[in-house]
Every structure is written in structure tokens, then in C-alpha cells.
Amino acid sequence: MKSVLNIAHRGASAYCPENTMAAFQHALDLGATGIETDVQMTSDGHLVLIHDESLQRTTGSSKLVKDVTLDEMKQLDAGSWFDPAFAGERIPTLRELLELVKTHEGILINIELKNGVVLYPGLEEAVIEEVRFQGMGERVILSSFNHYSLVLCKQLAPEIRTGILYMEGLYEPWEYAARIGANALHAYHYAVLPEWTTQAAERDIVYHPWTVNELDEMKRLLEAGVAGIITDYPDRLGELITRKS
């Protein structure tokens, strides 16, 4: 069986508060071979890793990410909402994650640009600059639901892989991916069938479906020939990949 990427969704987010250094480190401890995260930008231009545009759900603050400085954000507790044991966890920067992963050879980082609601002018340039500064271009894939953003990323950095995020119903997505220069299809997992992965592979396009937590669905997707799976449970997926190897 070919090697399949085991991509931890927002880190090991079933066990730790999502998009925190605790979640990223635990994903590595559980054997993940990739880490998925979300990047946004503070009011003073820093790249931070958080899924929601609002800080409410994970920190209790009613403000938006775009309206706070990095210093203000670093005062917020991003762990207690998940479990009191994680009190004091902070929202990390992209640099913090890249520096962690640099020390673990071969680990991929899937950086989702969260620019569908808030556009964050200059986000693409800033992310690419940081990735290049860290020398991580070959170990990063940039994804987004904003496909205009992915086209811009490819124009700015042809050497960095891109992945198209989408839900169900995109007709012949491998043709679309080839047209915009994308390398991967980050499909909602119901939108993946064996014949589609085959047709995509003929164009050197791979599938990394999300977010897959049930063993039966993991098995189905592995049999369908996906190149990677994004999951909250990298330990479950890792055990399954090992058994099928």
C-alpha cells in the first residue's frame, strides 16, 4: 500500500484545544505525518492560527481576529474552553508552528488561508514570505475555499503546492484543479469515489479529504486511493494505515 498522509485537523483536535501548540505537539506524538491549520491576520499584520473569524468560541472574547493586535491576542486563554487542564494555552503564530515542525523531518503542514469572509489583503504574500523564510516550501500545501486566493498563491510561489477546498458537487474537479494549477483536491469526504481518484491521478492531482473521524469512512477512502486524510484522530488513522501496509 502506498504511503498515505495522516493529516491532523487543527492538530490533534479530538484531544487538545484546536490550533494550539498543545494540539500540534500531540499530533506529532500520535504519529501524524501532516498537520492542518488555519491562518488569519491580526490588526497589526501578524499571522495567527485560528479557525473562526471571531474569537468568541475559543477564547470568550467578542472581538474579531482582524480587530486585535498580536499582543492583545496573546493575553487570551485559548485552552480553557476545551478543558481546564489546558488553561493558559495561547493562539499561536504561523512562525511558532513552522519552527516546531522544522525539527521533525518529513512532516507536511497544510495551511488553510481563512479569507472567505474577511479577505485580509496581503495574506497570501505574508504567508508565502514566512514559509520561504523558514525554508519550508517543499513541506507546505496552501489550501482555501477562496480559489482566487489559490491562483494568486500559485502565481506568487509556483513551487508551493496548493489544494482546492470544496464541498460536494464540483463537476470533474481534477480538470478544474489542472486549469488553476492546483496540486490537490481537499474535498469533503462524501465527494470522493475510487473512479474520481483514478481520473485525478492521471493528471497528477491527489485527494486529501476532510474531516474523517470514523473508521469505516477512513477504510473506504483508503480503498478509494486517496493520498491523504485529514482527521481529528491521527492515532485512529495511523493504526489503520499500519494494519493495511
Contact of 40 with 67, CB cutoff 8 Å? no
Contact of 77 with 59, CB cutoff 8 Å? yes
**147 CB burial (10 A radius; 0-12, 13-18, 19+):** middle
In Å, how far from its chain's centre is CA 146? Answer: 14
DSSP per-residue letters across 9-44: ETTTTTTS-TTSHHHHHHHHHTT-SEEEEEEEE-TT
Residue 9: active-site member: yes
Given the residues 9, 26, 186, 208, the one annotated as active site: 9
Given the residues 26, 51, 186, 189, the one annotated as active site: 51
The residues carrying an active-site annotation are 9, 51
